[in-house]
């Protein structure tokens, strides 16, 4: 009977061993195949050096952490086994085996200690190493760090210490604490099983060996604790007491000395603990723990809180002023806010027809199409087939025959999930339907008579009607969640539909991993868990597999250390299509800087511009901020990855734009950190906020939603030409009147410069929400909207745009109609506001003509003049208004030019009469 039980136990043990070996083998094989696939892919795109650098760093870190951790844990367990009592089958051990036998369904009566300790050490070492492998990036930054060039105001250390060294030290300290804990656990188990720890029976206590071992480990713990208190000194620069982000008065004058005291106490406790290895008394460890942690509780928690409440709080502004200054200065440095130039904006009421003509580039590029209505319209007019999809609408500018025009465009991407269910076969998904085709482009201001966008680029293949010519419209790489596709197979790829027939093509680009051999096919079949790759007869010796076709996934795979802007945008350049992706270097370790809500980062730079060829899949990283120390560190780590911005093709450089994510982050911080006087900052006397808007159906979709930044072409005050800018108005906290507007310049050579234009504080300038209220209160507009809603249509209010022109502000908002059962919004009206007037007309030209008719000084002939010249001047003025309504800027300008000498003559004649 006993032999049968032993045989059953042995069989179960063998089965468990086999299962463990199989699972571990599958994990290892999966990891190896994943590495092989990554190596082949990195090699195919020319970045194999990046692959080896990352893999080597991960492997070295894993081996180092594993070897150190497993070795230290094994030494701790071996010493425990070596010096523990040799009690054979003692009562404690027998009791232990009774419990284990009940839980594990009979085990061997004796434990193989050496192998068990080694297995435990290996297991703990593997777990710890697996957790630490993600720190490869931090380790490389620490080894390759470059100086920042500025020092913190408290300790006088170069800021590179905080960006690169301090995170590594904290990670190292945490790893050592984990290692010490695991070593204590293994030693404790050995001593407990061997009967050296008697806590549940009399007499209670530890054997001399267990006491000595515990004292040694406790001494190491206090050494690490002393180092931890030393690091905590620098972590004071990241605190937040509600007034100051960073070290405040209490931190510098109380916390800092207390931490030095705790460093000394922890050091003394470690020496006492090691001395206790000889005395082996429980009183010394207990006293050490009580001394260190009791002092920490009293002096690091209670005393600073009381000091802050009863000493600092009554004189808070006076005492915290120097530290508020540190917070303001370093936050502005961390987010690039110190480069923002402040200029006055008088907000005058001096606009007239001549001003409009002088700022024609601005008027021609007022954006009347919002993203969502335009995307719905594109979907109805230009998706062509159900398997095409417009995933986003991008805003850019082009130099076209019509001039410097702001346009909106969207890539027509392939969405395999939109294929009919019975057509979603493996061949269709991975061999036949492989790419999207072309883009749609339309100007931001123009519309057809039916209220639809005028298309500069449309159809498949793309037809240019005022837009750039595209010779290679195919998109194998885009914004969708693309899986892999196999090209150059024996079956041609679907290109685009043509009537009842289809046009086919074969990929001739650079991308792809060769997959023709049986070994390669087996590798990818295993990696993607797809036996069809191995079984299909459509793969030839020339076939290649395209991976990482989502552009953001592609960039992250190559450079996982960069943060990406949410909105990559499509660019048509030199007859081809490219994606441009803004990338950031970020950190959570900039001292005294206000952290962002969300990821907690408190430093950001738009250091890299990434260009991805939509057809070839090539990825190029261009340095847009060569002064950034984090980027310079990565340049040292990956010397072949980054190129200077000047190496980017000139035509693509014309499409670089200031990224919206960065601008929004800076604008959010600038709402508070434009206040550089500590007393003003402390009282939040001049806090700004984003204006509210009313865009949506009937103006009621999420009313009060903060405005977001928007791009526009405009001539900044005092500048000679119109340029592409990203801007956002600002209003005071708890108020709706506009107080400033922030602009980021996008065109070379002024790219990246930020300007805030501030309004006079003694003048009321209507903010967007106040203008929205005036629009809603306009009787004619509200009646017309009600009438449309009663006729089965749905009114969609577009976003209100604040349009600065010279020293004045013009407000423009589009209005769309959509059938209650339809999905095709039409741009039907344009609402314009200036001064006290609000008008709504069919086109922007008509709205401007109605807005300025009879109000512009240039249009008013002198009083009392009734001769032929006055009548001729009035005729020219009327014709100018008609030309403006029709959008005929050339005729409008000609009429104004003809009007000027007549008015000058009339003015001269009137002066003669007065004399």
Question: How large is the greatest C-alpha to C-alpha distance in the chain, in angstroms?
Answer: 136
Q: Do 628 and 660 share a domain, yes or no? A: no
Whether residue 315 is predicted with pLDDT greater than 90 in this model: the reply is yes
Q: Do 510 and 490 share a domain, yes or no? A: yes
pLDDT at site 354: 84
Residue 1 lies in a domain: yes
pLDDT at site 566: 95
Is the dihedral angle over the CA atoms 132, 134, 136, 138 positive or is it negative? negative
Residue 574 lies in a domain: yes
Residue 90 lies in a domain: no
Question: Where is pLDDT greater, at 627 or 869?
Answer: 627
What percentage of the chain carries pLDDT values higher than 70?
86
Q: Do 750 and 830 share a domain, yes or no? A: yes
pLDDT at site 197: 79
Residue 755 lies in a domain: yes
Q: Do 690 and 817 share a domain, yes or no? A: yes
Q: Do 382 and 491 share a domain, yes or no? A: yes
Average pLDDT over residues 398-408: 94
Among 708, 722, 734, smallest CA distance to 802 is for 708
Residue 121 lies in a domain: no
Q: What is the DSSP letter of 800?
A: P
Residue 726 lies in a domain: yes
pLDDT at site 341: 97
Pair 744, 753: CB distance under 8 Å: yes
Q: How many domains does the chain have?
A: 6
Whether residue 907 is predicted with pLDDT greater than 70 in this model: the reply is no
pLDDT at site 857: 42
Cβ atoms within 10 Å of 1's Cβ, excluding its own? 5
HSE, CB side, 13 Å, CA atoms: give it for residue 206. Answer: 21
Q: Do 483 and 514 share a domain, yes or no? A: yes
Q: Do 455 and 515 share a domain, yes or no? A: yes
- Global pTM? 0.89
pLDDT at site 694: 77
Q: Do 360 and 372 share a domain, yes or no? A: no
Among 283, 280, 274, smallest CA distance to 209 is for 280
Whether residue 635 is predicted with pLDDT greater than 60 in this model: the reply is yes
Taking all residues of the chain, what is their mean pLDDT, rounded to a whole number? 88
Cβ atoms within 10 Å of 448's Cβ, excluding its own? 11
Question: Where is pLDDT greater, at 108 or 344?
Answer: 344
Q: What is the DSSP letter of 857?
A: G
Cβ atoms within 10 Å of 170's Cβ, excluding its own? 17
Is the dihedral angle over the CA atoms 287, 292, 293, 299 positive or is it negative? positive
| Exposure b/e, 662-701, CB count within 10 A at least 16 = b | bbebbbbbbbbbbbeebeebbeeebebbbbbbbbbeebee
Whether residue 336 is predicted with pLDDT greater than 70 in this model: the reply is yes
Cβ atoms within 10 Å of 82's Cβ, excluding its own? 10
pLDDT at site 264: 97
Residue 895 lies in a domain: yes
| pLDDT confidence band for 457 (50 / 70 / 90) | very high
DSSP string across 877-889: HHHHHHHHHTT-H
Whether residue 201 is predicted with pLDDT greater than 60 in this model: the reply is no
CA distance 306 to 309: 5
Q: Do 633 and 669 share a domain, yes or no? A: no
pLDDT at site 653: 96
Q: What is the pLDDT of residues 556-604, one digit of tens each?
A: 999 999 999 999 999 999 999 999 999 999 999 999 999 987 889 999 9
* 904 CB-contact burial (10 Å; exposed 0-12 / middle 13-18 / buried 19+): exposed
pLDDT at site 327: 97
Token digits of residue 364:
């021609």
Among 118, 120, 114, 121, smallest CA distance to 69 is for 121
Q: Do 683 and 723 share a domain, yes or no? A: yes
Q: Give the three-state DSSP class for 383.
A: coil
Whether residue 540 is predicted with pLDDT greater than 90 in this model: the reply is yes
Pair 671, 688: CB distance under 8 Å: yes
Average pLDDT over residues 428-455: 94
Q: What is the pLDDT of residues 459-498, one digit of tens each?
A: 999 999 999 999 999 999 999 877 899 999 999 999 998 8
- Give the domain-ending residue among 312, 334, 356: 334
pLDDT at site 90: 42
Question: Where is pLDDT greater, at 836 or 792?
Answer: 836
Q: Do 220 and 265 share a domain, yes or no? A: yes
Q: What is the pLDDT of residues 755-783, one digit of tens each?
A: 999 999 888 999 999 999 999 899 999 99
Pairing of strands 403-414, 394-400: antiparallel
CA distance 12 to 684: 71
Whether residue 101 is predicted with pLDDT greater than 80 in this model: the reply is no
Q: What is the pLDDT of residues 847-899, one digit of tens each?
A: 998 998 754 444 344 444 445 656 666 666 667 677 666 666 666 666 666 66
pLDDT at site 860: 40
Whether residue 272 is predicted with pLDDT greater than 70 in this model: the reply is yes
pLDDT at site 204: 55
HSE, CB side, 13 Å, CA atoms: give it for residue 768. Answer: 28
Q: What is the DSSP letter of 247?
A: -
pLDDT at site 352: 86
pLDDT at site 809: 95
Residue 794 lies in a domain: yes
| pLDDT confidence band for 650 (50 / 70 / 90) | very high
Q: Do 346 and 387 share a domain, yes or no? A: no
Whether residue 699 is predicted with pLDDT greater than 80 in this model: the reply is no
Q: Which of 295-309, 394-408, 693-707 has the lowest mean pLDDT?
A: 693-707
Token digits of residue 286:
């207990």
CA distance 584 to 658: 12
Q: Which of 280-294, 622-636, 900-914 has the highest mean pLDDT?
A: 622-636
| pLDDT confidence band for 449 (50 / 70 / 90) | confident
- Give the domain-ending residue among 655, 680, 711: 655
CA distance 336 to 605: 8
* Host domain of residue 914: 860-915
Cβ atoms within 10 Å of 274's Cβ, excluding its own? 17
Chain mean position to CA 59: 29
Average pLDDT over residues 342-368: 91
Q: What is the pLDDT of residues 460-469, one digit of tens each?
A: 999 999 999 9
Q: What is the pLDDT of residues 509-537, one digit of tens each?
A: 999 999 999 999 999 999 999 999 999 99
């Amino acid at each position: 009977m006993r032999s049968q039980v032993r045989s059953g136990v042995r069989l179960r043990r063998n089965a468990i061993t086999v299962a463990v070996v199989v699972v571990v083998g599958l994990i290892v094989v999966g990891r190896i195949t994943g590495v092989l696939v990554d190596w082949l892919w990195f090699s195919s795109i020319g970045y194999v050096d990046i692959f080896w650098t990352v893999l080597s760093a991960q492997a070295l870190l894993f081996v180092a952490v594993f070897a150190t951790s497993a070795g230290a844990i094994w030494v701790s367990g071996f010493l425990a086994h070596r010096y523990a009592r040799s009690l054979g089958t003692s009562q404690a051990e027998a009791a232990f085996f009774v419990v284990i036998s009940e839980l594990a369904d009979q085990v061997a009566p004796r434990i193989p200690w050496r192998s068990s300790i080694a297995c435990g050490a290996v297991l703990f070492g593997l777990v710890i190493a697996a957790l630490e492998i993600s720190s490869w990036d931090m380790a490389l930054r620490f080894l390759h760090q470059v100086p920042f060039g500025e020092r913190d105001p408290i300790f006088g250390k170069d800021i590179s210490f905080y960006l690169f060294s301090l995170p590594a030290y904290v990670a190292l300290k945490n790893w050592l604490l984990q290692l010490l804990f695991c070593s204590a656990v293994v030693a404790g188990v050995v001593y407990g099983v061997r009967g050296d720890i008697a806590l549940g029976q009399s007499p209670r206590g530890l054997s001399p060996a267990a006491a000595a071992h515990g004292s040694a480990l406790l001494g190491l713990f206090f050494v690490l604790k002393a180092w931890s208190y030393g690091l905590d000194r620098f972590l004071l620069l990241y605190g937040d007491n509600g007034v100051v982000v960073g070290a405040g008065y209490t931190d510098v004058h109380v916390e800092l000395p207390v931490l030095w005291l705790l460093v000394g106490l922890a050091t003394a406790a470690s020496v006492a603990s090691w001395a206790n290895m000889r005395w082996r008394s429980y009183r010394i460890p207990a006293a050490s723990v009580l001394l260190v942690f009791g002092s920490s509780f009293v002096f690091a928690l209670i005393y600073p809180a009381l000091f802050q409440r009863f000493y600092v709080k009554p004189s808070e502004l006076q005492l915290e002023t120097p530290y508020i200054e540190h917070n303001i200065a370093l936050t502005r440095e961390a987010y690039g806010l110190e480069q923002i130039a402040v200029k006055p904006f008088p907000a005058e009421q001096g606009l007239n027809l001549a001003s409009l003509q002088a700022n024609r580039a601005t008027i021609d590029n007022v954006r009347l199409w919002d993203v969502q209505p335009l995307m719905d319209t594109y979907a109805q007019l230009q998706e062509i087939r159900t398997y095409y999809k417009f995933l986003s609408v991008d805003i850019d500018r082009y130099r076209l025959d019509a001039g410097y025009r702001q346009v909106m465009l969207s890539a027509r991407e392939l969405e395999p999930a939109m294929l009919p269910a019975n057509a979603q076969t493996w061949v269709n998904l991975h061999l036949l339907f492989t790419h999207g085709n072309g883009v749609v482009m339309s100007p931001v201001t123009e519309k057809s008579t039916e209220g639809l966008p005028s298309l500069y680029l449309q159809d498949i293949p793309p037809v240019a009607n005022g837009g750039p010519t595209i010779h290679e419209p195919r998109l194998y790489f885009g914004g969708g969640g693309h899986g892999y596709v196999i090209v150059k197979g024996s079956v041609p790829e679907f290109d685009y539909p043509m009537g009842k027939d289809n046009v086919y093509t074969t990929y001739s680009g650079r991308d792809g991993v060769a997959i023709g051999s049986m070994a390669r096919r087996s590798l990818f079949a295993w990696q993607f868990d797809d036996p069809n790759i191995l079984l299909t007869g459509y793969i030839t010796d020339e076939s290649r597999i395209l991976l990482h076709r989502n552009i953001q996934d592609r960039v992250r795979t190559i450079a996982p250390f960069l943060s990406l802007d949410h909105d990559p945008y499509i660019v048509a350049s030199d007859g081809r299509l490219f994606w441009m992706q803004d990338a950031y270097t970020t950190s959570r370790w900039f001292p005294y800087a206000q952290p962002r809500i969300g990821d907690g980062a408190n430093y950001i730079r738009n250091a890299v511009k990434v260009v991805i060829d939509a057809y070839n899949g090539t990825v190029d990283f261009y340095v847009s901020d060569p002064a950034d120390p984090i980027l310079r560190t990565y340049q040292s780590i990956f010397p072949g990855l980054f190129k200077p911005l000047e190496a980017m093709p000139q035509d693509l450089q014309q499409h670089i734009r200031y990224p919206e994510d960065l601008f929004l982050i800076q604008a959010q911080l600038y709402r508070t950190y434009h206040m550089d006087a500590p007393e003003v900052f402390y009282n939040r006397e001049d806090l700004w906020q984003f204006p509210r808007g009313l865009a949506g159906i009937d103006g009621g979709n999420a009313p009060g939603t903060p405005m977001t930044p928007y791009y526009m072409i405009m001539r900044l005050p005092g500048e000679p030409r119109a340029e592409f800018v990203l801007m956002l108005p600002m209003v005071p906290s708890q108020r709706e009147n506009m107080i400033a507007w922030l602009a980021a310049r996008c065109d070379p050579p002024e790219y990246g410069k930020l300007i805030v234009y501030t309004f006079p504080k003694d003048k009321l300038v209507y903010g967007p929400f106040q203008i929205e209220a005036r629009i809603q209160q306009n009787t004619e507009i509200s009646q017309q909207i009600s009438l449309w809603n009663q006729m089965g249509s749905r009114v969609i209010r577009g976003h209100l745009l604040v349009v600065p022109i010279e020293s004045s502000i013009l407000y423009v908002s589009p209005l769309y109609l959509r059938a209650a059962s339809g999905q095709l919004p039409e741009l039907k009206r344009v609402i314009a506001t200036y001064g006290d007037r609000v008008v709504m007309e069919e086109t922007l030209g008509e709205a401007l003509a109605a807005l300025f008719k009879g109000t512009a000084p240039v249009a008013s002939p002198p009083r009392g003049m009734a001769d032929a010249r006055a009548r001729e001047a009035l005729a020219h003025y009327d014709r100018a208004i008609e030309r403006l309504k029709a959008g005929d800027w050339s005729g409008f300008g000609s009429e104004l030019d003809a009007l000027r000498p007549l008015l000058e003559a009339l003015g001269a004649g009137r002066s003669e009469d007065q004399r």
